[in-house]
Structure 1
Amino acid sequence: MTEARAEISSGVVDLLGVLAYGELSAFDRLAEDARSAPTLAGRVALASMAGAEIGHYEMLANHLYAHGASVEEAMQPFRKHVDAFQESTAPRTWLESLVKAYVVDNLAADLYRELSTVLDDEVRRIVLTVLDDTGHSAFAEREVAAAIEADSTQRDRLSLWSRRLLGEALTQAQYIVAERDGLAELIVAGSVDLSGIAALFRKLQQGHAKRMQVLGLG
């Protein structure tokens, strides 16, 4: 007799679904960016990161399945907004690709770590494992620093690019939260501030500003 699988809440399904689609999109993005890398070292670095992203996707898919949920169905509500973000922020250069991945990955990590505080131990462990840095941050910091040192005009251009990425990402995130009550409830449950969602987005902006200083684009 097959053992019954414990169901998980709609909010957790949404959280794992948007994470899974984010990982799948990251795999596509990094695999494509790897092909345009100017060096073999860059190609290898991004291909390795892409492999890690698809591994994370499979971990999320397996957990959803183990609890009676379909990863395809869980991802479906988020395709429109994630795809809209990807299409509106298509990089034109290798450096823009690196900065985009750096900004998006770290914003996502900040967001989901905040939400992980209200998850049970098993789901929290999976979420934090998925958010582990695949090595992109240090790689991007080195590449951007070298590019700015070689051509100081890159700093202003990439700074503008990072601000655009932040604005587009937060806009799509707001749309998603407005449409998914389960996610909104998770955010409110995990917030010590009565303003909840607004407070979380302010915190994300603050984290982004600090990282841009580290990247040399503050």
Structure 2
Amino acid sequence: MTDAAAIADESSSAVPSLDDAEYRAAVLDVLGLLASGELASFARLAEDAPHAPDLVDRLTISRMAAGELAHIDALESYVSSLGGDLPALMERYRDVLSDFDARTVPRDWWERLIKTYIGYSLVLDFQREVAGHLDPATRAVVDEVLADSGHGDYVVGALGPVIAAEPQIGARLALWGRRIVGEGLGVASQVLAQHPDLVKLAGQALAGGPGAMLNRLSGEHARRMGRLGLTA
């Protein structure tokens, strides 16, 4: 049994409580991760919006970006109620997604859509895995933060017809999507390695070890690519 699986086996049988100092510290760590992801998603969408082909698309994406900021406000309020400092918690993850962005610079509007759709959906999937066994109060906050923003449906509606009509664009974007998910899985592995509190908090999600979680993330990536008519 791997160390992660042993931790998961020990932790999954207990009901988590915020009165437990070790559990509370792990919760604060994952809330810092969530807030960092929301801030990165806001920045990604805010950067995408000016490149949108028309005003309707620009407004749509800008509203999605605003929603990410609202999620950060909700997280900050909850973290404060637990005696934590959200900016300090976010500082632990400051460089993770910035490195991902630096290695995956899109060349055009279509690659921008794929990057946000694949890359930041992977971030959300990872966060859901880590936060899958929280106490009810924390889970309620996290579920609101990780709720579907509608971005995936927007991308499928905007990009699906283009891919169907232009196979060459589809082939290029399939390769781009593979690069994005490869970089994203690398980020997930790095976060797990550097933040043992997240491993403890993941509980049953890591019962098969980190590799099993990464396989599930890859499966979700394949499903998203399939919605666009692309091979993962």
Instruction: Establish whether TM, by shorter chain, passes 0.5.
Output: yes
| 1:174 matched to 2:214 | no
Q: 1:186 aligns with which of 190, 194, 201?
A: 201
Structure 1 gaps, min length 5: none
Which AA in structure 2 matches 1:162?
G
Aligned counterpart, 1:124? 139
Superposed CA deviations along residues 187-214 of structure 1, whole A, max 9, x for unmatched, are 2x12373x32111111111111111111
Superposition pairs for residues 1-218 of structure 1, below 5 Å? 9-187=24-202, 189-191=203-205, 193=207, 195-218=208-231
Structure 1: 4+ residue segments shifted above 4 A: 5-8
Check whether the contact 1:115–1:190 (CA below 8 A) recurs between aligned residues: no
Check whether the contact 1:64–1:71 (CA below 8 A) recurs between aligned residues: yes
Once residues 116 and 81 of structure 1 are traced to their aligned partners in structure 2, the CA distance between those partners, rounded to angstroms, is 19
Residue 134 of structure 1 deviates from its aligned partner by 1.3
- Residue 191 of structure 1: SS of its match in structure 2? helix
Residue 179 of structure 1 deviates from its aligned partner by 0.9
- Residue 186 of structure 1: SS of its match in structure 2? helix
User: How many residues in Structure 1 have an aligned counterpart in Structure 2?
Assistant: 212
- Residue 190 of structure 1: SS of its match in structure 2? helix
- Residue 42 of structure 2: SS of its match in structure 1? helix
Taking CA–CA contacts closer than 8 Å with sequence separation of 6 or more, which of the two structures ends up with the larger relative contact order? 2
Check whether the contact 2:30–2:131 (CA below 8 A) recurs between aligned residues: no
Check whether the contact 1:114–1:190 (CA below 8 A) recurs between aligned residues: no
Residue 163 of structure 1 deviates from its aligned partner by 0.6
After superposition, the CA RMSD in angstroms is: 1.7
Once residues 119 and 202 of structure 1 are traced to their aligned partners in structure 2, the CA distance between those partners, rounded to angstroms, is 22
Among all aligned residue pairs of Structure 1 and Structure 2, give the percentage whose two residues are the same amino acid. Answer: 35
- Residue 46 of structure 1: SS of its match in structure 2? helix
Once residues 151 and 226 of structure 2 are traced to their aligned partners in structure 1, the CA distance between those partners, rounded to angstroms, is 17
Superposed CA deviations along residues 50-75 of structure 1, whole A, max 9, x for unmatched, are 01111111111111111111111111
Structure 2 gaps, min length 5: 1-17
